[in-house]
Amino acid sequence: MTRRQMPFLFLLAGVACHKDAVAPPPPPTCSQTSLLDTVPIAPNYGIHDMFVRDGIAFVFAWNSGVLIYDVGNGVKGGLPLCPVLISSLVTSASGISGGPAVHNGWWFWNPNTNEKKYLFIGQEGPAIGGIGVGSAGLIHVVDVSDLSNPHEVAYFHKAGTDSTGTHNFWMDEQKQILYAAYYNGGVVALDVSGALSGDLSSRLIDSLRIGGKGNTYTWGVHLYNGSLYAIDMLSGLWQLNANSGALSIAGGGNNESARYSSDCWVFGGYAYSGTWDWIRRTSQSGAMLKVWQLGGTGAPAPVDSIITPSISAVSDVEVSSNGKVVMFSAEGGTNSGLYFYSLTNPAHPTFLAYYPVSAGLHTATFGYINGNVYAFAARNPGSPALMIWDVTSLVQ
Protein backbone atom coordinates (compact mmCIF):
# COMPACT_ATOMS: atom_id res chain seq x y z
CA MET A 1 0.00 0.00 0.00
CA THR A 2 1.26 3.48 -0.83
CA ARG A 3 0.58 6.60 1.19
CA ARG A 4 0.55 10.10 -0.21
CA GLN A 5 0.07 13.57 1.18
CA MET A 6 -2.14 16.08 -0.57
CA PRO A 7 -0.10 19.30 -0.93
CA PHE A 8 -1.65 22.77 -0.75
CA LEU A 9 0.46 25.05 -2.89
CA PHE A 10 -1.83 27.67 -4.40
CA LEU A 11 -5.39 28.96 -4.65
CA LEU A 12 -7.13 30.03 -7.83
CA ALA A 13 -10.63 31.54 -8.09
CA GLY A 14 -11.42 30.37 -4.61
CA VAL A 15 -10.50 26.76 -5.40
CA ALA A 16 -7.37 25.09 -4.11
CA CYS A 17 -5.65 23.13 -6.86
CA HIS A 18 -3.12 20.33 -6.69
CA LYS A 19 0.27 21.33 -8.08
CA ASP A 20 2.38 18.30 -8.81
CA ALA A 21 6.12 18.98 -8.63
CA VAL A 22 6.74 17.00 -11.82
CA ALA A 23 3.81 17.84 -14.08
CA PRO A 24 1.40 20.50 -12.76
CA PRO A 25 -2.16 19.81 -13.95
CA PRO A 26 -4.32 22.66 -15.27
CA PRO A 27 -6.64 24.36 -12.77
CA PRO A 28 -10.03 22.69 -12.29
CA THR A 29 -12.79 24.00 -14.54
CA CYS A 30 -15.04 24.64 -11.55
CA SER A 31 -14.82 27.76 -9.41
CA GLN A 32 -16.30 29.26 -6.31
CA THR A 33 -19.19 30.55 -8.46
CA SER A 34 -20.37 26.93 -8.54
CA LEU A 35 -21.71 27.51 -5.03
CA LEU A 36 -25.43 27.93 -5.73
CA ASP A 37 -26.96 28.51 -2.35
CA THR A 38 -26.36 28.47 1.38
CA VAL A 39 -29.46 27.73 3.44
CA PRO A 40 -29.04 28.64 7.12
CA ILE A 41 -30.11 25.96 9.59
CA ALA A 42 -31.20 26.83 13.12
CA PRO A 43 -28.25 26.43 15.53
CA ASN A 44 -30.15 23.80 17.50
CA TYR A 45 -26.91 21.90 17.03
CA GLY A 46 -27.53 22.37 13.30
CA ILE A 47 -27.37 20.05 10.31
CA HIS A 48 -25.89 16.57 10.39
CA ASP A 49 -26.76 14.72 7.18
CA MET A 50 -28.85 14.84 3.98
CA PHE A 51 -30.64 12.39 1.70
CA VAL A 52 -31.42 13.64 -1.83
CA ARG A 53 -33.68 11.78 -4.23
CA ASP A 54 -35.99 12.82 -7.08
CA GLY A 55 -35.38 16.51 -6.45
CA ILE A 56 -36.35 16.24 -2.78
CA ALA A 57 -33.75 16.94 -0.07
CA PHE A 58 -34.30 15.57 3.42
CA VAL A 59 -32.13 17.58 5.80
CA PHE A 60 -31.53 15.97 9.18
CA ALA A 61 -31.19 18.90 11.52
CA TRP A 62 -30.74 17.38 14.97
CA ASN A 63 -33.25 18.79 17.46
CA SER A 64 -34.87 20.89 14.75
CA GLY A 65 -35.98 17.57 13.24
CA VAL A 66 -36.12 16.62 9.57
CA LEU A 67 -36.57 19.48 7.08
CA ILE A 68 -38.00 18.53 3.67
CA TYR A 69 -37.02 20.76 0.73
CA ASP A 70 -38.02 20.87 -2.92
CA VAL A 71 -34.69 21.26 -4.75
CA GLY A 72 -35.90 20.45 -8.26
CA ASN A 73 -38.81 18.05 -7.92
CA GLY A 74 -41.31 20.79 -8.78
CA VAL A 75 -43.80 20.13 -6.02
CA LYS A 76 -43.10 23.60 -4.56
CA GLY A 77 -41.16 25.21 -7.39
CA GLY A 78 -37.80 24.74 -5.70
CA LEU A 79 -34.43 24.46 -7.41
CA PRO A 80 -30.89 23.63 -6.25
CA LEU A 81 -30.14 27.37 -6.43
CA CYS A 82 -33.30 28.15 -4.46
CA PRO A 83 -34.56 25.35 -2.19
CA VAL A 84 -38.15 25.69 -0.96
CA LEU A 85 -39.19 24.17 2.36
CA ILE A 86 -42.11 21.76 1.99
CA SER A 87 -42.52 20.72 5.63
CA SER A 88 -40.69 19.64 8.75
CA LEU A 89 -41.11 17.20 11.62
CA VAL A 90 -39.44 16.78 14.98
CA THR A 91 -39.42 13.07 15.82
CA SER A 92 -39.86 11.74 19.32
CA ALA A 93 -36.99 11.99 21.78
CA SER A 94 -38.03 8.55 23.06
CA GLY A 95 -36.49 9.25 26.44
CA ILE A 96 -32.99 9.61 24.99
CA SER A 97 -30.78 12.18 26.68
CA GLY A 98 -30.09 15.03 24.28
CA GLY A 99 -33.48 14.96 22.58
CA PRO A 100 -34.61 13.84 19.09
CA ALA A 101 -31.02 14.08 17.72
CA VAL A 102 -32.17 13.60 14.11
CA HIS A 103 -28.96 12.43 12.47
CA ASN A 104 -29.53 10.61 9.15
CA GLY A 105 -32.17 8.93 7.03
CA TRP A 106 -33.23 6.92 4.01
CA TRP A 107 -36.32 7.52 1.86
CA PHE A 108 -37.53 4.02 0.99
CA TRP A 109 -38.79 3.47 -2.55
CA ASN A 110 -40.42 0.05 -2.50
CA PRO A 111 -40.02 -1.53 -5.98
CA ASN A 112 -42.52 -4.26 -5.13
CA THR A 113 -45.40 -1.92 -4.29
CA ASN A 114 -44.17 1.31 -5.96
CA GLU A 115 -44.77 3.06 -2.64
CA LYS A 116 -42.55 5.95 -1.55
CA LYS A 117 -44.16 6.01 1.86
CA TYR A 118 -41.53 5.61 4.55
CA LEU A 119 -38.59 7.68 5.67
CA PHE A 120 -36.28 5.91 8.13
CA ILE A 121 -34.52 8.29 10.53
CA GLY A 122 -31.55 7.54 12.77
CA GLN A 123 -31.47 9.15 16.19
CA GLU A 124 -27.89 9.65 17.33
CA GLY A 125 -28.04 9.95 21.08
CA PRO A 126 -24.96 10.55 23.19
CA ALA A 127 -21.93 8.29 23.28
CA ILE A 128 -21.85 6.55 26.65
CA GLY A 129 -18.43 5.95 28.11
CA GLY A 130 -16.50 6.77 24.94
CA ILE A 131 -15.76 5.17 21.57
CA GLY A 132 -16.41 1.44 21.69
CA VAL A 133 -18.21 1.49 25.02
CA GLY A 134 -21.78 2.67 24.57
CA SER A 135 -24.23 4.73 22.51
CA ALA A 136 -27.93 5.58 22.39
CA GLY A 137 -30.71 6.18 19.87
CA LEU A 138 -33.61 4.61 17.98
CA ILE A 139 -34.71 4.17 14.39
CA HIS A 140 -37.82 6.29 13.77
CA VAL A 141 -40.19 5.59 10.87
CA VAL A 142 -41.99 8.56 9.33
CA ASP A 143 -44.86 8.35 6.83
CA VAL A 144 -44.00 10.80 4.01
CA SER A 145 -46.61 9.65 1.50
CA ASP A 146 -47.80 13.27 1.78
CA LEU A 147 -44.57 15.28 1.89
CA SER A 148 -46.45 18.26 3.26
CA ASN A 149 -47.72 16.23 6.23
CA PRO A 150 -45.03 13.87 7.55
CA HIS A 151 -45.91 11.95 10.70
CA GLU A 152 -44.14 9.34 12.81
CA VAL A 153 -45.71 5.88 12.68
CA ALA A 154 -43.18 3.36 14.04
CA TYR A 155 -39.85 2.89 15.79
CA PHE A 156 -37.16 0.29 16.45
CA HIS A 157 -35.01 0.01 19.55
CA LYS A 158 -32.26 -2.59 19.77
CA ALA A 159 -32.88 -4.47 22.98
CA GLY A 160 -30.07 -5.94 25.06
CA THR A 161 -27.99 -5.45 28.14
CA ASP A 162 -25.73 -2.82 26.50
CA SER A 163 -26.83 0.67 25.57
CA THR A 164 -26.60 0.93 21.77
CA GLY A 165 -27.64 3.53 19.21
CA THR A 166 -27.85 4.15 15.51
CA HIS A 167 -25.51 5.81 13.08
CA ASN A 168 -25.77 5.34 9.28
CA PHE A 169 -28.10 3.23 7.09
CA TRP A 170 -28.13 1.30 3.84
CA MET A 171 -31.18 -0.38 2.28
CA ASP A 172 -31.75 -3.45 0.16
CA GLU A 173 -34.91 -1.99 -1.32
CA GLN A 174 -35.61 -5.03 -3.51
CA LYS A 175 -35.63 -7.34 -0.48
CA GLN A 176 -37.13 -4.66 1.80
CA ILE A 177 -34.35 -4.89 4.40
CA LEU A 178 -32.90 -1.93 6.27
CA TYR A 179 -29.28 -2.35 7.40
CA ALA A 180 -28.16 -0.06 10.20
CA ALA A 181 -24.78 0.66 11.75
CA TYR A 182 -25.40 0.50 15.49
CA TYR A 183 -22.10 1.72 16.92
CA ASN A 184 -21.09 -0.66 19.78
CA GLY A 185 -24.04 -2.87 18.79
CA GLY A 186 -22.46 -3.61 15.40
CA VAL A 187 -24.79 -4.15 12.44
CA VAL A 188 -28.57 -4.65 12.48
CA ALA A 189 -30.78 -6.09 9.71
CA LEU A 190 -34.45 -5.10 9.92
CA ASP A 191 -37.43 -6.38 7.91
CA VAL A 192 -39.33 -3.31 6.68
CA SER A 193 -41.76 -5.00 4.30
CA GLY A 194 -45.48 -4.25 4.36
CA ALA A 195 -47.20 -1.77 6.63
CA LEU A 196 -45.12 -0.39 9.51
CA SER A 197 -46.57 0.77 12.80
CA GLY A 198 -45.66 0.85 16.48
CA ASP A 199 -42.80 -1.16 17.95
CA LEU A 200 -40.79 -2.97 15.24
CA SER A 201 -38.68 -5.08 17.61
CA SER A 202 -40.26 -8.25 16.20
CA ARG A 203 -38.93 -7.24 12.74
CA LEU A 204 -35.29 -7.78 13.74
CA ILE A 205 -33.77 -10.34 11.35
CA ASP A 206 -30.25 -10.44 12.74
CA SER A 207 -27.53 -8.40 14.43
CA LEU A 208 -23.77 -8.89 14.53
CA ARG A 209 -21.14 -7.24 16.73
CA ILE A 210 -18.50 -7.49 14.04
CA GLY A 211 -15.30 -6.93 16.02
CA GLY A 212 -16.52 -8.41 19.26
CA LYS A 213 -17.25 -6.57 22.48
CA GLY A 214 -14.84 -3.72 23.10
CA ASN A 215 -13.67 -3.78 19.46
CA THR A 216 -16.87 -2.68 17.72
CA TYR A 217 -18.13 0.84 17.01
CA THR A 218 -19.72 0.59 13.56
CA TRP A 219 -19.99 3.86 11.63
CA GLY A 220 -21.67 2.80 8.39
CA VAL A 221 -22.79 0.00 6.07
CA HIS A 222 -22.89 -0.33 2.29
CA LEU A 223 -24.46 -3.11 0.21
CA TYR A 224 -22.42 -4.00 -2.86
CA ASN A 225 -22.27 -6.98 -5.22
CA GLY A 226 -24.02 -9.34 -2.80
CA SER A 227 -21.94 -8.40 0.25
CA LEU A 228 -22.60 -5.94 3.03
CA TYR A 229 -19.54 -3.82 3.84
CA ALA A 230 -19.30 -2.36 7.34
CA ILE A 231 -16.83 0.33 8.37
CA ASP A 232 -16.01 0.26 12.05
CA MET A 233 -14.22 3.01 13.97
CA LEU A 234 -12.21 0.46 15.93
CA SER A 235 -11.86 -2.63 13.76
CA GLY A 236 -11.74 -1.21 10.23
CA LEU A 237 -13.45 -2.42 7.07
CA TRP A 238 -15.37 -5.70 7.04
CA GLN A 239 -17.07 -7.77 4.37
CA LEU A 240 -20.22 -9.49 5.61
CA ASN A 241 -22.46 -12.15 4.17
CA ALA A 242 -26.00 -10.79 4.20
CA ASN A 243 -28.21 -13.60 2.96
CA SER A 244 -31.68 -12.01 3.18
CA GLY A 245 -30.54 -10.25 6.33
CA ALA A 246 -28.70 -13.15 8.02
CA LEU A 247 -25.31 -11.71 8.93
CA SER A 248 -21.90 -13.43 9.12
CA ILE A 249 -18.25 -12.49 8.60
CA ALA A 250 -16.93 -13.04 5.07
CA GLY A 251 -13.62 -11.18 5.12
CA GLY A 252 -11.62 -8.14 6.17
CA GLY A 253 -11.64 -6.61 9.63
CA ASN A 254 -8.95 -5.53 12.09
CA ASN A 255 -7.19 -3.72 9.26
CA GLU A 256 -6.90 -0.12 10.48
CA SER A 257 -5.38 -0.13 13.94
CA ALA A 258 -3.46 3.18 13.82
CA ARG A 259 -6.46 5.48 13.37
CA TYR A 260 -10.18 5.63 14.02
CA SER A 261 -12.11 4.92 10.82
CA SER A 262 -15.03 7.04 9.65
CA ASP A 263 -17.25 6.81 6.56
CA CYS A 264 -17.00 4.39 3.61
CA TRP A 265 -18.33 4.01 0.05
CA VAL A 266 -17.98 0.96 -2.23
CA PHE A 267 -17.99 1.09 -6.04
CA GLY A 268 -16.47 -0.76 -8.99
CA GLY A 269 -14.42 -3.29 -7.05
CA TYR A 270 -12.96 -0.70 -4.67
CA ALA A 271 -13.87 0.84 -1.34
CA TYR A 272 -12.97 4.33 -0.13
CA SER A 273 -12.96 5.14 3.58
CA GLY A 274 -12.03 8.02 5.84
CA THR A 275 -10.19 8.36 9.13
CA TRP A 276 -10.38 10.71 12.09
CA ASP A 277 -7.70 12.91 13.56
CA TRP A 278 -9.99 14.64 16.07
CA ILE A 279 -8.91 12.07 18.62
CA ARG A 280 -5.69 10.21 17.97
CA ARG A 281 -5.80 6.50 18.54
CA THR A 282 -2.02 6.15 18.36
CA SER A 283 0.90 8.49 17.80
CA GLN A 284 0.25 8.34 14.04
CA SER A 285 -1.46 11.52 12.88
CA GLY A 286 -3.43 12.16 9.75
CA ALA A 287 -6.98 12.27 8.50
CA MET A 288 -6.86 10.31 5.27
CA LEU A 289 -8.82 8.87 2.39
CA LYS A 290 -7.98 5.18 2.33
CA VAL A 291 -8.37 3.04 -0.81
CA TRP A 292 -9.19 -0.66 -0.66
CA GLN A 293 -9.26 -3.16 -3.51
CA LEU A 294 -11.85 -5.91 -3.28
CA GLY A 295 -10.35 -9.28 -4.15
CA GLY A 296 -11.91 -12.15 -6.03
CA THR A 297 -14.05 -13.03 -3.01
CA GLY A 298 -14.80 -9.38 -2.27
CA ALA A 299 -12.48 -9.15 0.74
CA PRO A 300 -10.90 -5.67 1.11
CA ALA A 301 -7.14 -5.08 0.97
CA PRO A 302 -5.55 -1.60 1.26
CA VAL A 303 -3.82 -0.30 -1.88
CA ASP A 304 -3.40 3.44 -1.31
CA SER A 305 -4.09 6.31 1.08
CA ILE A 306 -4.06 10.09 0.81
CA ILE A 307 -3.45 12.28 3.86
CA THR A 308 -4.85 15.80 3.67
CA PRO A 309 -2.86 18.15 5.93
CA SER A 310 -4.48 20.50 8.45
CA ILE A 311 -7.84 18.76 8.80
CA SER A 312 -9.16 16.71 11.71
CA ALA A 313 -11.40 14.28 9.84
CA VAL A 314 -12.37 12.87 6.48
CA SER A 315 -15.93 12.74 7.72
CA ASP A 316 -18.06 11.60 4.76
CA VAL A 317 -17.19 9.78 1.52
CA GLU A 318 -19.20 9.17 -1.65
CA VAL A 319 -18.48 8.02 -5.21
CA SER A 320 -20.46 9.52 -8.08
CA SER A 321 -23.00 7.23 -9.74
CA ASN A 322 -20.85 7.01 -12.90
CA GLY A 323 -17.78 6.03 -10.89
CA LYS A 324 -15.67 8.92 -12.16
CA VAL A 325 -15.20 10.90 -8.95
CA VAL A 326 -14.86 10.31 -5.22
CA MET A 327 -15.96 13.20 -3.00
CA PHE A 328 -15.23 13.68 0.68
CA SER A 329 -16.02 16.29 3.30
CA ALA A 330 -13.37 17.52 5.71
CA GLU A 331 -13.67 19.32 9.03
CA GLY A 332 -11.38 20.68 11.72
CA GLY A 333 -8.38 22.71 10.59
CA THR A 334 -7.46 25.32 8.03
CA ASN A 335 -8.01 23.02 5.03
CA SER A 336 -11.60 22.09 5.89
CA GLY A 337 -14.08 21.90 3.04
CA LEU A 338 -15.14 19.71 0.12
CA TYR A 339 -12.70 17.59 -1.92
CA PHE A 340 -12.98 15.84 -5.27
CA TYR A 341 -10.62 13.19 -6.67
CA SER A 342 -10.67 11.58 -10.09
CA LEU A 343 -11.09 7.80 -10.29
CA THR A 344 -9.59 7.42 -13.74
CA ASN A 345 -7.34 4.98 -11.91
CA PRO A 346 -9.66 3.80 -9.12
CA ALA A 347 -6.79 2.31 -7.12
CA HIS A 348 -4.93 5.62 -7.01
CA PRO A 349 -7.26 8.66 -7.05
CA THR A 350 -5.89 11.98 -8.33
CA PHE A 351 -6.83 15.43 -7.13
CA LEU A 352 -9.47 17.44 -9.02
CA ALA A 353 -10.75 20.29 -6.87
CA TYR A 354 -11.26 21.69 -3.40
CA TYR A 355 -13.89 24.11 -2.08
CA PRO A 356 -12.72 25.71 1.18
CA VAL A 357 -15.27 26.04 3.99
CA SER A 358 -13.67 27.49 7.10
CA ALA A 359 -16.29 26.08 9.51
CA GLY A 360 -15.80 22.60 8.04
CA LEU A 361 -18.27 20.18 6.46
CA HIS A 362 -19.54 17.23 8.43
CA THR A 363 -21.25 15.37 5.58
CA ALA A 364 -21.76 15.63 1.82
CA THR A 365 -23.84 13.76 -0.74
CA PHE A 366 -24.46 13.91 -4.48
CA GLY A 367 -27.84 14.92 -5.88
CA TYR A 368 -28.79 14.10 -9.48
CA ILE A 369 -31.40 16.57 -10.66
CA ASN A 370 -32.64 17.28 -14.19
CA GLY A 371 -29.45 16.04 -15.85
CA ASN A 372 -27.07 17.93 -13.56
CA VAL A 373 -24.99 16.84 -10.58
CA TYR A 374 -24.94 18.72 -7.30
CA ALA A 375 -23.08 18.38 -4.03
CA PHE A 376 -25.19 18.93 -0.91
CA ALA A 377 -23.10 19.50 2.20
CA ALA A 378 -23.64 20.18 5.90
CA ARG A 379 -21.69 23.12 7.30
CA ASN A 380 -20.72 22.68 10.94
CA PRO A 381 -21.79 24.71 13.95
CA GLY A 382 -21.46 27.53 14.93
CA SER A 383 -22.92 28.76 11.60
CA PRO A 384 -24.74 25.60 10.44
CA ALA A 385 -26.08 25.60 6.90
CA LEU A 386 -27.02 23.45 3.95
CA MET A 387 -24.56 24.29 1.16
CA ILE A 388 -25.21 23.34 -2.48
CA TRP A 389 -22.67 23.30 -5.32
CA ASP A 390 -23.16 22.56 -9.01
CA VAL A 391 -20.41 20.01 -9.73
CA THR A 392 -21.65 18.80 -13.10
CA SER A 393 -18.46 19.85 -14.90
CA LEU A 394 -16.37 17.83 -12.46
CA VAL A 395 -18.42 14.66 -12.44
CA GLN A 396 -19.73 14.13 -15.96
Residue 83 lies in a domain: no
Q: Are residues 96 and 243 in the same domain?
A: yes
Adjacency order of strands within the sheet including 35-40: 35-40, 385-390, 372-379, 361-369
Q: Are residues 98 and 245 in the same domain?
A: yes
Residue 343 lies in a domain: yes
> Total structural domains in the chain?
2
Residue 71 lies in a domain: no
Q: Which of 255, 285, 302 finishes a domain? A: 255
Q: Are residues 242 and 141 in the same domain?
A: yes
The CA distances from residue 89 to 83, 136, 182, 311, in Å, are 17, 21, 23, 33
Longest dimension (CA), the chain: 62
Tell me which residue range forms the domain holding 291: 1-46+262-396
Q: Are residues 122 and 238 in the same domain?
A: yes
**Measured between alpha carbons, how far is 386 from 115 in angstroms, rounded to an integer?**
28
Instruction: Please tell me the predicted confidence (pLDDT) of residue 1.
Output: 66
Q: Are residues 27 and 112 in the same domain?
A: no
Three-state secondary structure string covering the chain: CEEEECCCCEEECCEEECCCCCCCCCCCCCCHHHEEEEEECCCCCCCCEEEEECCEEEEECECCCEEEEECCCCCCCCECCECEEEEEECCCCCCCCCCCCEEEEEEECCCCCCCCCEEEEEECCCCCCCCCCCCCCCEEEEECCCCCCCEEEEEECCCCCCCCCCCCEEEECCCCEEEEECECCCEEEEECCCCCCEECHHHEEEEECCCCCCCCCEEEEEEECCEEEEEECCCEEEEEEEECCEEEEEEECCCCCCCCEEEEEEECCEEEEEEECCCCCCCCCCCEEEEEEECCCCCEEEEEEEECCCCCEEEEEEECCCCCEEEEEEECCCCCEEEEEECCCCCCCEEEEEEECCCCEEEEEEEEECCEEEEEEEECCCCCEEEEEECHHHHC
| CB 152, CB 204: distance < 8 Å | no
Q: Are residues 96 and 234 in the same domain?
A: yes
Q: Are residues 216 and 95 in the same domain?
A: yes
Residue 388 lies in a domain: yes
Instruction: Please tell me the predicted confidence (pLDDT) of residue 285.
Output: 85
**Measured between alpha carbons, how far is 209 from 212 in angstroms, rounded to an integer?**
5
Residue 16 lies in a domain: yes
Q: Are residues 107 and 237 in the same domain?
A: yes
Q: Which of 234, 255, 276 finishes a domain? A: 255
Q: Which of 236, 255, 274 finishes a domain? A: 255
**Burial of 111 from C-beta contacts in 10 A (0-12 / 13-18 / 19+):** exposed
CATH of the domain at 191: 2.130.10.10
Kindly give the confidence (pLDDT) of every residue in the chain, 396 residues in length, as a single tens digit, with 9 standing for 90 and above: 666 776 543 332 333 333 333 333 333 333 434 899 999 999 999 999 999 999 999 999 999 999 999 999 999 999 999 999 999 999 999 999 999 999 999 999 999 999 999 999 999 999 999 999 999 999 999 999 999 999 999 999 998 878 999 999 999 999 999 999 999 999 999 999 999 999 999 999 999 999 999 999 999 999 999 999 999 999 999 999 999 999 999 999 999 999 999 999 999 999 999 999 898 999 998 899 999 999 999 999 999 999 999 999 999 999 999 999 999 999 999 999 999 999 999 999 999 999 999 999 999 999 999 999 999 999 999 999 999 999 999 999
Q: Are residues 229 and 273 in the same domain?
A: no
Instruction: Please tell me the predicted confidence (pLDDT) of residue 330.
Output: 98
pTM, entire model: 0.93
Q: Are residues 248 and 209 in the same domain?
A: yes
Q: Are residues 244 and 279 in the same domain?
A: no
Residue 199 lies in a domain: yes
Residue 7 lies in a domain: yes
Residue 334 lies in a domain: yes
Q: Are residues 38 and 163 in the same domain?
A: no
